[in-house]
Amino acid sequence: MDLKVRVCFHDKCFDGAASAAVFSRFYRERINPAAEFHYTGMTHKASKPFEDGTFDGDENAIVDFKYSTSPLLTWWFDHHQSAFLTPEDAADFRADKSGKKFYDPTYKSCTKFIADIATEKFGFDPKPIADLIYWGDIIDGAQFKDAAEAVSLQAPATQLALVIEAAPEHDLVPKLIPQMAYLSLQEMVELPIVQKHLGPLLERHRRSMDIFRERAEARDGVIYFDVSDLDLEGYNKFVPYYLFPDATYSVGLSASQIRSKVSVGTSPWKDVPPEVNLASISEKYGGGGHARVAAISFGPGDIHRARQVAKEIATTLRAAPKLPAH
């Protein structure tokens, strides 16, 4: 009889999808070849992330998303500073003796973290998906050589990331994950379910650059923009730094049907003082993430509160110490 494995992953995120793909291939090759995978995209929101009945598999995994103390959770991998909603969650993780729950916030991507753990501890061979692992680290770790490369979207991985992050089709990403585990990135981009979204999204990306040019304000090293009245939640987060290369930080407000979102980021091409930690700043408002990129989710009707928080954070970062240019 097939074993049902429920995989909860960070939805509309290249690293989340790639993490789920790497986990699935590893699990099938090293744990149980008869596994039948079911995928659930998780979104950071103001309410509790895991609803009752989420963990309905014989085995249940979370990748690239917050920890759960549910006794039904069997596998967990994450690399975010803000992985634990409460101190009790962190204590529960530390007390776990299963050998199947892993956390390391020093990793640039959860994709590479899973690949390394699966290789070192379970004998997994990551070579057939080396390109996916490489690009997971480049995209989630913002390790492009410059802003122009990040916004040009020439590489198949960046085109696939655009579709994963911004396509309006509900439950598209769970359909892509099983194929990401076995197809090349070029083959992924050529799939009809990707192609039908790619052209319109590339045009939307080009238009968004004009919108940011009009809307964004760069002052004292901080870019601030509000696109909450537009369908732009899945925008390319490197565009502000491309348009304003002298800026160090960006603070943006966007909205969708399920949330109002404040995104806070650091230019990957700027050095920053270690005392400026965007995850720690965001945690004060109920959000989190990494030291150099973070976000806060509010309810869809809380746009005024979200706007207030975005402006407060922009003010904080404008007053924060900056390292001299070099």
In a domain, residue 169? The reply is: yes
CA distance 292 to 274: 10
CATH of the domain at 253: 3.10.310.30
Instruction: Tell me the pLDDT band of 325, cut-offs 50, 70 and 90.
Output: low
> What confidence score (pLDDT) does residue 321 get?
83
Which of 208, 76, 79 lies closest to 140, judged by CA? 79
Which of 51, 40, 36 lies closest to 10, judged by CA? 40
Instruction: Tell me the pLDDT band of 46, cut-offs 50, 70 and 90.
Output: low
Is the same domain home to 125 and 270?
Answer: no
Is the same domain home to 12 and 100?
Answer: yes
CATH of the domain at 142: 3.90.1640
CA 255 to chain CA centroid, Å, is: 17
CA distance 260 to 308: 12
Q: What is the mean pLDDT of residues 224-234?
A: 88
Give the domain extent around 67.
3-192
> What confidence score (pLDDT) does residue 326 get?
53
Q: What is the mean pLDDT of residues 162-171?
A: 93
Is the same domain home to 162 and 293?
Answer: no
| Structure confidence by residue, pLDDT tens digits, 76-91 | 999 999 899 899 999 9
> What confidence score (pLDDT) does residue 53 get?
87
Lowest-pLDDT range, 92-101, 108-117, 128-137, 224-233?
Answer: 224-233
Does the pLDDT at position 301 exceed 90? no
Last residue of a domain, one of 192, 227, 262: 192
Is the same domain home to 160 and 266?
Answer: no
Q: What is the mean pLDDT of residues 16-37?
A: 98
> What confidence score (pLDDT) does residue 35 get?
97
Share of the chain above pLDDT 70, in %: 98
Does the pLDDT at position 196 exceed 70? yes
Q: What is the mean pLDDT of residues 128-145?
A: 96
DSSP conformation class of 33: T
Is the same domain home to 273 and 308?
Answer: yes
> What confidence score (pLDDT) does residue 219 get?
96
Domain count, the chain: 2
Is the same domain home to 160 and 227?
Answer: no
Q: Exposed/middle/buried for 224, CB within 10 Å: 0-12, 13-18, 19+?
A: buried
Is the same domain home to 165 and 265?
Answer: no
Instruction: Give every strand in the sheet of 288-289, ordered side by side.
Output: 217-219, 222-226, 249-255, 260-266, 293-298, 288-289
Q: What is the mean pLDDT of residues 289-298?
A: 92
Is the same domain home to 129 and 9?
Answer: yes
Where are the extended beta strands (E) located within the chain?
3-10, 35-42, 59-63, 75-78, 101-103, 217-219, 222-226, 249-255, 260-266, 288-289, 293-298
Kindly report the average pLDDT of the chain as a whole number. Answer: 94
Is the same domain home to 188 and 220?
Answer: no
Instruction: Tell me the pLDDT band of 45, cut-offs 50, 70 and 90.
Output: low
In a domain, residue 211? The reply is: no
Q: What is the mean pLDDT of residues 89-118?
A: 97
Does the pLDDT at position 70 exceed 70? yes
Q: What angle do CA 258, 261, 262 make, to 5 degrees?
A: 175
Instruction: Tell me the pLDDT band of 68, cut-offs 50, 70 and 90.
Output: very high
Is the same domain home to 52 and 104?
Answer: yes
> What confidence score (pLDDT) does residue 257 get?
84
Is the same domain home to 26 and 131?
Answer: yes
